[in-house]
């Protein structure tokens, strides 16, 4: 059974008025910020899916030491901080906006063992809905229904992320194949060039020898 907070978050997603899903690349310790206009008393649900790049295979994987520092500020109120927390690579957060206005969402990948100079790919999903649309959490039937719906939503998000990873793997394989083909074409062109130059040199020497024998030159 999910917590009441998560159930509220799910209901906000189901009744959301605005949703964003994106991904970006950033190095360890670097901060990436996004701006979102929120309504007063809007329930905001965010989800993070962070990966580390393997320098040898250029593939991305989950690191148990990786964390994502999350800060959310109200830009209209002297940058008053709403949230300042660290998340796991596949964490989430929820909060309710106090006032209407622009909010700044900033994400920074960090390590609990002070690892540096890594490249990361981070998926960031955020949705907002009205906090007035809360249901009575004491209703067992409604809570169970929300539980099923949130699990369904999470399954859909996982499926989307899996499809994105599969597409990137196919793109990487196609890119490697293209680079290998291009490399072979370049090598074969160089071989042909050397053969052509060698043939020309041989023909010139042969013609020169022939002309000398015929006392033409």
> DSSP string covering 106-145, please?
EEEEEETT---S-EEEEEEEEEEEEGGG---TT-HHHHHH
Reading the block at residue 165, the tokens are: 């990873």
- Note the pLDDT of residue 138: 43
- Note the pLDDT of residue 159: 77
C-alpha distances (whole Å) from 115 to each of 20, 51, 118, 119, 198 are 30, 14, 8, 11, 55
- Note the pLDDT of residue 145: 64
Least confident of 16-20, 92-96, 110-114: 16-20
Is pLDDT at 7 greater than 80 in this prediction? Answer: no
- Note the pLDDT of residue 2: 43
pLDDT digits (tens, 9 = 90+) for 110-168: 998 888 899 999 999 888 776 555 444 444 455 566 667 777 777 777 777 778 878 88
pLDDT, mean of residues 39-65: 90
CA distance 2 to 16: 20
- Note the pLDDT of residue 206: 77
**Global model pTM greater than 0.75:** no
**What Rg, from alpha-carbon coordinates, does the chain have?**
30
Reading the block at residue 169, the tokens are: 């793997």
What is the Cα 22 distance to its own chain's centre?
7
- Note the pLDDT of residue 29: 94
What sections of the chain are H helices per DSSP?
4-14, 140-213
CATH of domain 4-170: 2.60.120.380
How do the domains of the chain map onto residue ranges?
4-170
Q: Give 12 or 210, the one with higher predicted confidence.
A: 210
Reading the block at residue 11, the tokens are: 């209901």
Place 213 in a pLDDT band, splitting at 50, 70 and 90: confident
Is pLDDT at 106 greater than 90 in this prediction? Answer: yes
| % of the chain surpassing 90 pLDDT | 29
Angle between helices 140-213 and 4-14 (to 10 degrees): 70
Q: Give 133 or 55, the one with higher predicted confidence.
A: 55
If we measure between CA atoms, which residue out of 46, 78, 61 comes closest to residue 168? 61
End-to-end CA distance of the chain: 101
Long-range contacts of 198-205 (CB under 8 A, 24+ apart): none
Place 46 in a pLDDT band, splitting at 50, 70 and 90: confident
CA distance 128 to 68: 21
Phi, psi of 117 (to 5 degrees): 60, 45
Q: Give 9 or 187, the one with higher predicted confidence.
A: 187
CB of 70 closer than 8 Å to CB of 85: yes
Reading the block at residue 162, the tokens are: 């899996």
- Note the pLDDT of residue 146: 66
């Amino acid at each position: 059974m999910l917590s009441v907070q998560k159930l509220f978050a799910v209901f906000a997603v189901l009744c959301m008025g605005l949703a964003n899903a994106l991904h970006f690349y950033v190095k360890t310790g670097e901060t990436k910020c996004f701006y979102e206009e929120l309504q007063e008393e809007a329930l905001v649900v965010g989800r993070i899916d962070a990966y580390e790049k393997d320098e040898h295979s250029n593939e991305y994987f989950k690191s148990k030491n990786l964390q994502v520092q999350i800060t959310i500020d109200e830009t209209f109120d002297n940058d008053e901080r709403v949230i300042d927390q660290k998340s796991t690579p596949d964490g989430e957060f929820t909060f309710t906006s106090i006032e209407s206005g622009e909010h700044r969402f900033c994400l920074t990948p960090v390590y609990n063992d002070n690892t540096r100079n890594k490249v990361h790919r981070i998926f960031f999903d955020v949705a907002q809905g009205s906090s007035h649309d809360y249901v009575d959490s004491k209703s067992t039937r409604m809570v169970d229904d929300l539980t099923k719906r949130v699990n369904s939503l999470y399954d859909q998000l996982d499926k989307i992320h899996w499809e994105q990873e599969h597409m990137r793997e196919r793109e990487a394989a196609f890119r490697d194949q293209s680079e290998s083909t291009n490399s072979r074409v370049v090598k074969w062109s160089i071989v042909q060039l050397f053969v052509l130059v060698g043939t020309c040199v041989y023909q010139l020497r042969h013609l020169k020898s022939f002309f000398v024998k015929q006392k033409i030159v």
